[in-house]
Amino acid sequence: MFATYLIGLREGLEATLVVSILVAFLVKSNRRNRLPHVWLGVGLAVALSVVFGWFIEYTSTTLLNTSEERELFDAVTSVAAVVFVTWMIFWMRRAARSMAGELRGKLSNALAVGAVAVTGMAFLAVIREGLETALIFYSAARGLADNNTGPLVALAGGIATSVVLGFLLYASALKINLSKFFTWTGALLILVAAGIFKYGVHDFQEAGVLPGHNNLAFDITSVLDPTTWYATLLSGMFNITPAPSVLEMIAWVAYAVPVLVLFLKKPSRGTTKPAAPAANAATPAGTAESGVPAESTSPTGPASATQRA
DSSP secondary structure string for all residues of the chain: -HHHHHHHHHHHHHHHHHHHHHHHHHHHTT-GGGHHHHHHHHHHHHHHHHHHHHHHHHIIIII--SHHHHHHHHHHHHHHHHHHHHHHHHHHHHHHHHHHHHHHHHHHHHHHH-HHHHHHHHHHHHHHHHHHHHHHHHHHHTTT-TT--HHHHHHHHHHHHHHHHHHHHHTTS----HHHHHHHHHHHHHHHHHHHHHHHHHHHHHTTSSS-TT-BS---TTTS-TTSHHHHHHHHHH---SS-BHHHHHHHHHHHHHHHHHHHSPPP--PPPPPPHHHHHTS-TTB-TTSSBGGG--SSS--SHHHH-
Q: What is the pLDDT of residue 275?
A: 47
More confident residue, 142 or 220: 220
* Mean pLDDT for all residues in the chain: 81
Instruction: Place 204 in a pLDDT band, splitting at 50, 70 and 90.
Output: very high
Instruction: Place 245 in a pLDDT band, splitting at 50, 70 and 90.
Output: very high
- Report the predicted TM-score, pTM, of the whole model to 2 decimal places: 0.76
d(CA 117, CA 96): 24
More confident residue, 215 or 308: 215
Q: What is the pLDDT of residue 246?
A: 95
Q: Mean pLDDT, to the nearest integer, of 236-247? A: 85
> Which residues are registered as beta bridge partners of 293?
287
Q: Mean pLDDT, to the nearest integer, of 73-84? A: 92
Residue 284 has pLDDT above 50, yes or no: no
More confident residue, 288 or 238: 238
Q: What percent of the chain has pLDDT over 70?
A: 83
d(CA 266, CA 4): 27
d(CA 60, CA 74): 7
d(CA 267, CA 262): 9
Residue 303 has pLDDT above 50, yes or no: no
Q: What is the pLDDT of residue 250?
A: 95
